[in-house]
Amino acid sequence: MAENLLRGEAQLIAASLTITPQRSTVLDFLPVIGTEDYVLWLYNSGVEDISWRTFVVQFKPDLWYVILVMICLFWLAILGASHITMHKSQTLEVSGL
């Protein structure tokens, strides 16, 4: 992008560039209007702490009930759709279409 500006193909560029002394000699920078900080937190629990319970113990029993009900409703919806599809195909075969 800076090359386009230097060649006169652009009048303005907007990019996430760090202001360095070398870039300042070639480009004019506006004052900084904002910065972003990215942080990554890692928890070292140790190998002995990791098990399947590590991932599921955080859920309350009510959530497990909701998940179970949703799975059952999803299964019933798929079963119903399958039944309707089979019924329509049998109707078409009988009618000769």
* DSSP track, 54-74: HHHTTS-HHHHHHHHHHHHHH
- pLDDT of 79 reads 92
N- to C-terminal Cα distance for the chain?
Answer: 62
Contact 13, 5 (CB under 8 A): yes
Give the domain extent around 33: 2-95
Domain count, the chain: 1
Residue 41 has which token pair? 């937190």
- pLDDT of 69 reads 96
Counts for the chain of helices (H) and strands (E), in that order: 4, 0
Sequential pLDDT tens for the chain (97 residues): 778 888 888 888 888 788 889 988 888 888 877 777 777 776 666 555 566 666 767 777 888 899 999 999 999 999 999 888 887 777 766 666 5
- pLDDT of 49 reads 58
